[in-house]
Amino acid sequence: MNQTAHQLTDFLLRRKEVELIAGISRASIYRLIKAGKFPHPVSLGTGSVRWKQSDIIAWQSSLTKTA
């Protein structure tokens, strides 16, 4: 898959999916968001939020660069 096709397919992930992918708890996700170290979710209205898959992948990539 080339980069352009990947950019067209940006899935919205639920918090539970983000927890599994990132390997961190709900509390850790929100603590890192507050500290500016984790991507902010996208609001879908009525208290529902999702994270862009591309944002989570970029966050994971940034961890490997600094580790």
- pLDDT tens digit string along 9-48? 899 999 999 999 999 999 999 999 999 999 999 999 988 9
Q: Distance of alpha carbon 53 from its chain centroid, rounded?
A: 6
Residue 18 lies inside a defined structural domain of this protein: yes
Residue 3 lies inside a defined structural domain of this protein: no
**Domain boundaries, position 19:** 11-66
Domains in the chain, number? 1
Q: What is the CATH number of the domain that holds 53?
A: 1.10.238
Query: What pLDDT is attached to residue 4?
Result: 59
Residue 57 lies inside a defined structural domain of this protein: yes
Residue 2 lies inside a defined structural domain of this protein: no
Query: What pLDDT is attached to residue 9?
Result: 80
- CA of 45: how far to CAs of 7, 12, 41, 60, 64, in Å? 24, 14, 12, 27, 33
Measured distance CA(60)–CA(42) in Å, rounded: 18
pLDDT per residue over 2-14, tens digit each? Answer: 565 555 689 999 9
At residue 5, what is the residue type?
Answer: A
5 and 38 in contact (C-beta within 8 Å)? no
Residue 5 lies inside a defined structural domain of this protein: no
Q: With 60 as the cut, is the pLDDT of residue 60 above it?
A: yes
Residue 22 lies inside a defined structural domain of this protein: yes
Q: With 70 as the cut, is the pLDDT of residue 66 above it?
A: no
